Chain A
């Protein structure tokens, strides 16, 4: 340490005082993803030292240049308001989020386990319904769910895979435990930013990355194509895979472009496809060409106006018929929305146990199911400490955050709970972990989550890392990109003792 101290002094003498950019950094009681001591082989310390070498003003300048690159590259999502459409970038923070090899092993195993359980659950509820007959999950929660699709009953899917692409939202509490907040088993988005963030780091911060042994992320397109090829209808030699997008006005269009390019397959819109005699074709300059696997980034409701919403302009008339005939595969399968529903989420630990005979590797956020007496009693007794959420499909509506609610709001929640207990679950408020983030004021803690992506054809592969979403506003727990959330490059370390640089 003596020599680096000396170097620091020399630097001050020649360049004036350069303050440590971390000097005002205080994660408080939250778990800090960079500074908390972990078996990272000194990587976090080196990152911190390198950030100090670069200095806060250079960090600001380089971050601005990097964001400008994103605009020029059109790596944007579109926000619509009134009559205008604005292309926005996902704000990028240059301080990486680091996951040790050990942490990643846990997440990877946990995600695979969850995907296996989701697929087993979907197979069961669309076939023999053991889990509801055995009373593990209430039947009305499943079969009365708006996302349950009777069209799927007794319909075979290859390898029993319904959820080919899954995004699992994971948070970390004050103790550093990973907790699953939500499963995204329909059309999860965000994976393009995982890869693009790494490219951005390589362009703009090569000095931060130099010598670090990090798991690569650019294998995603190949793995995805492999899975899409595997699941094509049997007996097709060279299956034609396409990505079905709502088109250039969709806010995730950039990601659709990214994925089609990474797979090397056409990005089609509904109007490019036509169904004839239960076979799907795309319209090309040479006439119609058969299509075998469709990675669709369109919700179930919009897929086929003859089966679901008749007003859908995005879908393909006859698509569901072709799919039921087994002439085309859809990824994800229709009807997966019932499995990632809030109501079902509460039962995931039991679902995992039921099908796999294992305890969940990644815990749920502790959830009290108010349709059960025990859960209801606990919730009523702790309303001022809990987040109370309605189940079903009603999204963010009707949530009461106990610690921030007024007396009247608490009492309103109590009345609603008592009126229909089975419509409610409750959870403790989670104090999400933080990571050092470059802000106007300097490096400050910001809350973040993690969304790893799992690809499943014959088997499941998890992209090392995932999307780390950061709430850019001070104190905010909302990481959603539509609400000003940003993202970070996520490093999964190769092993505990990287050989890239000698430890100081």
Chain B
């Protein structure tokens, strides 16, 4: 049995992006879900437009000449196939990658992807309304989770697995920063006590969207503050969606690629990961918040982009001789 089967650079890139797109789909569903719970009566539009801002989609949204209403934002992310940052386009991209990867991925992965894809491309408008929206988000999350579970249980653990995980982890870390950022854009009433309660409710919502509420309550002090929530989502390496855990795992997969498969070219990516970790652990969360959480999250997102670029340069670019 040959244990050093080569992996086409094109396949590695496809795995990386398939995982990224699916992770994005799941997180978009989480964001939509949490946005709905934040909808303040009479000010729905502002709540929903926060989603546009944290995804930096102002331009794409404006180009469509849409008014920033709740319905328009929901349609933009759930129904508009031409919106490259929405769920239909992300799922389409994931499936196109899966099609390219068909020789490599398991039949069960491919079949679930096909069925999920077909299901999601025909969401009726009515599912965007009222209580049905949350159920729709649940179905989307479950679709991705089914993919994740099938992949965990059936995908061969050669270097392809590491590239798949790299894509997933980079996207997950990025999405957690966006989820944290949503709080920055939300409106809070002016009164002191009212403000405190509203804020904690909102942070609870963010935790729930990240599936971290109960875990957080187990480890957080009874009189927890916003700082505790931010620290949990950024730095708690026991929480599966924390940025710190994603970075740890990224490093582990990069190390695996070097040690087990002898791939050179991981050095630059590992350096970027190291910088990310230093940024997270070098300062107290209080210091991060006081100097501006939003700017800090922006910086983390930029670091993740350059980490992805290093992986691309080292492993993917070669198969596209015409690419710059």
A positions within 8 Å CB-CB of B: 71-74, 238, 247-248, 253-254, 257, 260-261, 266-269, 271-272, 274, 282-287, 289
Contacts and interface: CB of A to CB of B under 8 A. Distances in A.
A297 B215 CA distance: 54
A8 to B, nearest CB: 40
Contacts of A287: 318
A269 B100 CA distance: 10
Given A73-B107, A283-B9, A283-B319, 18 more contacts: A72-B115, A73-B111, A73-B114, A74-B114, A248-B96, A257-B102, A261-B103, A266-B6, A266-B11, A282-B8, A283-B8, A283-B10, A283-B318, A285-B8, A285-B12, A286-B7, A287-B318, A289-B6
6 contacts: A74-B114, A247-B100, A253-B99, A283-B318, A285-B8, A286-B6
A433 B12 CA distance: 49
Provide the main secondary structure of the chain B interface.
helix
A74 B101 CA distance: 13
A71 B115 CA distance: 9
Contacts of A71: 114
A272 B262 contact: no
Interface of B: 2, 6-12, 96, 99-100, 102-103, 107, 110-111, 114-115, 159, 163, 257, 261-263, 315, 318-321
Most buried by B among A74, A267, A269, A284: A284
A74 B111 contact: yes
Contact of A285 (B9, B96, B103, B110): B9
Given A74-B110, A268-B8, A271-B321, A286 B262 contact: yes
A254 B107 CA distance: 12
A286 B160 CA distance: 12
A138 B11 CA distance: 49
B103 A257 contact: yes
Contact of A267 (B2, B7, B103): B103
B257 to A, nearest CB: 8
Contact of A260 (B103, B107, B320, B321): B103
B99 A72 contact: no
A286 B111 contact: no
Given A73-B114, A269-B10, A272-B8, A285 B159 contact: yes
B7 A284 contact: yes
Nearest to A257: B102
Nearest to B110: A74
Most buried by A among B10, B12, B257: B10
A282 B107 contact: no
A238 B318 CA distance: 25
A154 to B, nearest CB: 33
A74 B96 CA distance: 12
Given A72-B115, A283-B319, A248 B9 contact: no
Contacts of B114: 71-74
Given A73-B110, A271-B320, A271-B321, A285 B263 contact: yes
A253 B315 CA distance: 25
Nearest to B317: A283
Provide the main secondary structure of the chain A interface.
mixed
Nearest to B10: A272
Nearest to A260: B103
A286 B265 CA distance: 9
A346 B163 CA distance: 54
A378 B263 CA distance: 71
B186 to A, nearest CB: 41
A282 B11 CA distance: 12
A38 B319 CA distance: 56
Contacts of A267: 102-103
Contact of A74 (B2, B102, B263, B321): B102
A232 to B, nearest CB: 16
A74 B115 CA distance: 10
Nearest to A269: B10
Contacts of A73: 107, 110-111, 114
Contacts of B2: 238
Nearest to A243: B103
A339 to B, nearest CB: 30
B103 A286 contact: no
A254 B99 CA distance: 9
Most buried by B among A74, A267, A282, A285: A285
A266 B114 CA distance: 22
A269 B13 CA distance: 14
B261 A286 contact: yes
A257 B156 CA distance: 17
A170 B12 CA distance: 43
Contact of A271 (B7, B10, B257): B10
A285 B7 contact: yes
A282 B7 CA distance: 10
B95 to A, nearest CB: 9
Given A285-B12, A286-B261, A289-B6, A272 B319 contact: yes
A5 to B, nearest CB: 44
Contacts of B7: 284-286
A257 B261 CA distance: 25
A132 to B, nearest CB: 43
Contact of B315 (A257, A266, A285): A285
A285 B96 CA distance: 21
A286 B264 CA distance: 7
A285 B6 CA distance: 7
B111 A282 contact: no
Most buried by A among B12, B261, B319: B319
Contacts of A72: 111, 114-115
A248 B103 CA distance: 11
Contacts of A247: 100
Contacts of B318: 283, 287
A267 B11 CA distance: 10
A393 to B, nearest CB: 32
A284 B6 contact: yes
Nearest to B323: A271
A403 B107 CA distance: 49
A116 B7 CA distance: 37
A272 B7 CA distance: 11
Contacts of B321: 271, 274
B281 to A, nearest CB: 30
A448 B191 CA distance: 81
A266 B9 CA distance: 11
A244 to B, nearest CB: 12
A90 B115 CA distance: 18
Most buried by B among A71, A253, A257: A257
B16 to A, nearest CB: 11
| 6 interchain residue pairs of minimum CB distance | A284-B6, A283-B319, A267-B103, A257-B102, A260-B103, A289-B6
Nearest to B318: A283
Contacts of A248: 96, 99-100
B103 A266 contact: yes
B103 to A, nearest CB: 4
A254 B102 CA distance: 9
B166 to A, nearest CB: 11
A247 B14 CA distance: 13
A218 to B, nearest CB: 14
A350 B160 CA distance: 53
Nearest to B107: A73
Contacts of B102: 74, 254, 257, 267
A74 B9 CA distance: 24
A268 B201 CA distance: 53
B269 to A, nearest CB: 13
